[in-house]
Amino acid sequence: MNTNHEPSSEYVIPISFGSTEIIETGNWGFLKPQTSFMTAPCQESCPAGNPIPQFLYLATDGRYHEALQILLRENPFPGVCGRVCFHPCETDCNRAQYDEPVSIRSMERYVSDVAANQPLNLKPVRNEGSKRVAIVGAGPAGLSCAYFLSLLGHPSTIFESQKEPGGVMRWGIPGYRLPKSILRKEIQRILCLPIQIKTNIIVGEDISFDELTQFDAVFLSPGAGLNTSLSIEGEDLKQVWMGQDFLGRINSKEKVTLGKECIVIGGGNTAMDVARSALRLGSKVTVAYRRTKGEMPAIRDEIIEAEEEGVRFEFLIQPVKINRLQNKKLAVTFQRMKLSGLDPSGRPKPIPVKRKFITMETDQLITAVGEQVDLSWIPQDLIKNGLIEGNPSSKIFGGGDAIDQPRTVVHAISSGKKAAISIDLCLRGESVNQVFSKIKVGNKGAVSMGAYLKGREDGEWPEEQRIITYEQINTLYFESSRRVRMRKRSDDKRLKGFSEVNLSFTSKEAHFSASRCFSCGTCNYCYNCYFFCPEGVISLDPVQRRRIVDFEHCKGCGTCAKVCPKSVVVMKEVG
């Protein structure tokens, strides 16, 4: 059954793809159908709190402009996240337990790309008590904070040390994953709001921290710009590069020349970006990682694509010494490792295997073993355990890589949104904790700007919604299908430059992909309740797209609840 179109004058009847014997009647009279929305697990898992069922429903209808508008309410970087997000939403998609998850990330990208050039309604709310906010860092956290503050009516000034905004999105992610034209378009959309940006400004040198405190509030998101050292002999040799420096030079369009062979140390996203970039510069690349493939923190898709492109992996080895040979190559000595027990973070702990070493020769060695945040310019009372703790009472907040959270683009966006809401509440003299409990999306940390704006304006806070499980989905009304996968640039062209590897959906693929969404916990107007009602007491308002029940004649049989694919219709006692 097509669950995404209104009934017409044609002969339309519902069908199921399984037995309907479970549809019962009874409980006459004292139970009536009520609407009860729930939160989809995909939305709960999205750190940005994207309204996934809603934007996919609009995409199914071809209403891409509206779909983008609803995404921008919660995330100013849908085009970026549609390319580089690690998509936890797809991992928790209920449809994954039925056949395969919906291609949510690819659909976010498609909607953003298709509707990007249409005029958008990003009008800040009227705020007579607007305040000035200083933001340090124009990465995903800082730009997101400025964006959401603008929507709340507060102008901001961003201080950025680089010549262009974007942070890791601009300087750390290669073009084959994130074209710079896409990033610039999304940043320009943000900067059309009441936001001032000052580039090439280093806080602590060009402007003091005390000068920042002249603003009504301060948001600190400096980013992790310091490479972590291996602390081994030979690391200072000319042929040893730091991962972020290497990527920064590539993204700056500088000429970078590598030898025939290159070893990359690390197992995270930076290591994958370095390895795949080195391939495109003509090197044969080996990634050395001290744990196994299963423990690599890099996004799974990036590891798979690196393997497809020809990156070689060596696991359970750790560099201990680097020598320069007479033939000008490097000899890298590795200690063999094994996993035993858990480290403080709960990950399998690599420990040395006694007297087990190997030596590998290479032209260049690039280290990508983590990055650190430079906090030397920040007052020590704002720092705890090497991270920014912030001080809401003094109107100073932290976000992005400088706080205790996963270092991903979408988590940085989330921290910017939370900071913007916290700043607004503090400037208005209201309780942060009390409001955040009302606007949370599930129980994994995401919050809703849409819910906050509505509650802020008219005092109507949403009721807490339960998370809908797969067992609550009536799968009788869905037909099994395979997820849509993005096409990729052909193998013979992928390594010839930095053009984007993953290619967008066609319009037909996008429509089908969006239509696979179960719309868990929300009503997508399938009209099963209308068609199946044996008493004909359910009518439809096609303009408002809502269900109207004649309760005086409803006998409470519960058929409408039984046939609702998403458990939105529930039977409740009345009177």
Q: With CA atoms as reference, report the closest residue to 228 among 114, 116, 367, 337.
A: 367
Under 8 Å CB-to-CB from 67, ≥6 apart: which residues?
55, 56, 58, 59, 111, 115
pLDDT for 259 equals: 94
pLDDT above 90 covers what percent of the chain?
77
539: left (phi over 0), alpha (psi -120 to 50) or beta: beta
The residue type found at 433 is: N
Q: 231, exposed or middle or buried, with CB in 10 Å at 0-12, 13-18, 19+?
A: exposed
Over residues 504-537, the pLDDT tens digits come to 999 999 999 999 999 999 988 888 998 999 888 8
* Fold observed for domain 227-371: FAD/NAD(P)-binding domain (3.50.50)
Q: What is the DSSP string of 428-495?
A: HT--HHHHHHHHB-TTSS-B-HHHHHHHHHH--PPPPPPBPPGGGS-GGG----PPP---B--HHHHT
Q: Is 113 helix (H, G, I), strand (E, B) or coil?
A: helix
Q: What share of the chain is helix, strand, coil (3-state, %, to 5)?
A: 35, 20, 45
Over residues 279-295, the pLDDT tens digits come to 999 999 999 999 999 99
The residue to which tokens 């970087």 are assigned: 77
The token duo for 152 is: 């709340």
**The CATH number of domain 133-225+373-429 is 3.60.15.10:** no
pLDDT for 542 equals: 66
Same fold yes or no, 133-225+373-429 and 227-371: yes
Over residues 417-459, the pLDDT tens digits come to 999 999 999 999 998 889 999 999 999 999 999 999 999 988 8
How do the domains of the chain map onto residue ranges? 133-225+373-429, 227-371
Q: With CA atoms as reference, report the closest residue to 407 among 88, 142, 168.
A: 168
The token duo for 153 is: 């009516």
CA distances from 66 to 54, 70, 100, 112, 455 (A): 10, 6, 26, 11, 22
Over residues 154-188, the pLDDT tens digits come to 999 999 999 999 999 999 999 999 999 999 999 99
Mean pLDDT of the chain: 92
Per-residue pLDDT for 123 more than 90? Answer: no
pLDDT above 70 covers what percent of the chain?
94
pLDDT for 27 equals: 53
CA distances from 460 to 152, 424, 430, 438, 450 (A): 17, 18, 16, 10, 12
Measured between alpha carbons, how far is 289 from 318 in angstroms, rounded to an integer? 7
pLDDT for 16 equals: 63
What's this model's pTM, rounded to 2 decimal places?
0.92
The token duo for 463 is: 């009721």
State the average pLDDT over residues 48-77: 96
Q: With CA atoms as reference, report the closest residue to 271 among 324, 218, 335, 228.
A: 228
State the average pLDDT over residues 453-481: 91
Over residues 396-411, the pLDDT tens digits come to 999 999 999 999 999 9
Read off the pLDDT band of 268 (50, 70, 90). very high
Read off the pLDDT band of 9 (50, 70, 90). very low
Instruction: Specify the DSSP class assigned to residue 37.
Output: -
Question: Which H or E element spans position 43?
Answer: helix 41-45
The residue to which tokens 């004058």 are assigned: 9
Measured between alpha carbons, how far is 447 from 178 in angstroms, rounded to an integer? 26
The residue type found at 424 is: D
pLDDT for 204 equals: 93
The residue to which tokens 């990359």 are assigned: 264
Per-residue pLDDT for 210 more than 80? Answer: yes
Residue 573 or 378, more confident = 378
Per-residue pLDDT for 561 more than 50? Answer: yes
Half-sphere exposure of 446 (CA within 13 A, CB side): 25
Over residues 219-264, the pLDDT tens digits come to 999 999 888 999 999 999 999 999 999 999 999 999 999 999 999 9
Under 8 Å CB-to-CB from 333, ≥6 apart: which residues?
319, 320, 321, 322, 323, 357, 358, 359
